[in-house]
């Protein structure tokens, strides 16, 4: 995730409201072992921590790959934003 630019982040509840969907499903591709999420008829990516069960405070961010300009949604642990982890908020 070090090469991603985080553009905006939402709580799961806010993301569902914004996308006008009732639920988000996290799925695993049995061929690759990678997880992804679905919302309505769309899909998004999941961080590696989703597959290992390390996500306790899930959020969804719109991210961009600077080299290609590709943008997508990423489900990840709150504070997991490419090398900087939030330790505290004062």
Per-residue pLDDT tens digits for 15-33: 999 999 999 999 999 999 9
Query: pLDDT tens digits, residue range 29-50?
Result: 999 999 999 999 999 999 999 9
Average pLDDT across the chain, whole number: 87
- Using a 10 angstrom Cβ sphere, with 0-12 exposed, 13-18 middle and 19 or more buried, the burial of residue 10 is middle
Determine the pLDDT at residue 1. Answer: 52
Q: Is the pTM of this model over 0.75?
A: yes
Alpha helix (H) ranges present in 1-90? Answer: 12-19, 48-51
Comparing 70 with 3, which gets the higher pLDDT? 70
Three-state SS at 80: coil
Distance CA 46, CA 16 (A): 16
């Amino acid at each position: 995730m070090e090469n991603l630019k985080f553009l905006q982040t939402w709580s799961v509840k806010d993301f569902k409201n914004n996308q006008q969907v009732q639920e988000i499903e996290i799925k695993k591709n049995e061929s690759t072992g990678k997880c992804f999420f679905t919302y309505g008829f769309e899909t998004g990516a999941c961080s590696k921590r989703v597959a290992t069960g390390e996500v306790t405070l899930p959020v969804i961010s719109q991210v961009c790959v600077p080299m290609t300009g590709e943008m997508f949604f990423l489900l990840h642990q709150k504070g997991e934003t490419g090398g900087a982890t939030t330790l505290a908020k004062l």
